[in-house]
Amino acid sequence: MNITEFPDIYLFDGEPTTSFISVISELSVVPINSQSVKLYWNNNNVEDTGYDVFMSDLPESGYTLHSTIPVSDDNSVIIAGLNPNSTYYFKIRAKRENSTGIVYGDLSESISGTTYQYIPTPYNLTYSNL
């Protein structure tokens, strides 16, 4: 072995692309009313600048971008305008903006949430004191 040989040296002309691993965990859905649900999740990556929320009517496929939200302290979002008594599936991914653009994390596992069934307002109520 010749000790005068050195490994190749690589020079970068700019910022190297790094691995962006941001894991969304403990995703949960809570129904709020007949037309909205609230999503909660955990993510401890302090470099994240926002989240993309995807929604589908099927658990396996058909996810479309529903909204993009900034990072907040409670990691939650309310999804409104849904159909009553319907099940929806959600996935979330973190994103980070840097000097070279936007870098995306992996999509979370899917989770389902069902809106409440619409309950009509009762009318003609009477009260009697027996």
Q: For the segment 25-48, what is each residue's pLDDT rounded down to a tens digit?
A: 899 999 999 999 999 999 878 888
Provide the pLDDT confidence category of residue 55 given band limits of 50, 70 and 90: very high
Q: What is the mean pLDDT of residues 70-88?
A: 92
* Euclidean distance between CA atoms 43 and 96, whole angstroms: 13
pLDDT at residue 117 in the model: 86
pLDDT at residue 12 in the model: 47
Indicate the pairing of strand 64-70 with strand 76-80: unpaired
- Tokens representing 23? 């894991």
Neighbours of 83 (CB within 10 A): 12
> Is the model's pLDDT at 77 over the cut of 90?
yes
User: CB neighbours of 126 closer than 8 A, spacing ≥ 6?
Assistant: none
The model's pTM? 0.74
Torsion angle of C-alpha atoms 60, 61, 62, 67, degrees rounded to 10: 70
Q: What is the mean pLDDT of residues 70-83?
A: 91
> Is the model's pLDDT at 3 over the cut of 80?
no
Domains of the chain with CATH codes: 25-114 (2.60.40.10)
> Which residue is listed with tokens 């020079």?
11
More confident site: 10 or 64: 64
* Euclidean distance between CA atoms 25 and 27, whole angstroms: 6
* Euclidean distance between CA atoms 29 and 79, whole angstroms: 10
Q: What is the mean pLDDT of the chain?
A: 83
Q: CA angle 28-108-58, nearest 5°?
A: 80
The neighbouring-strand residues paired with 111 are 90
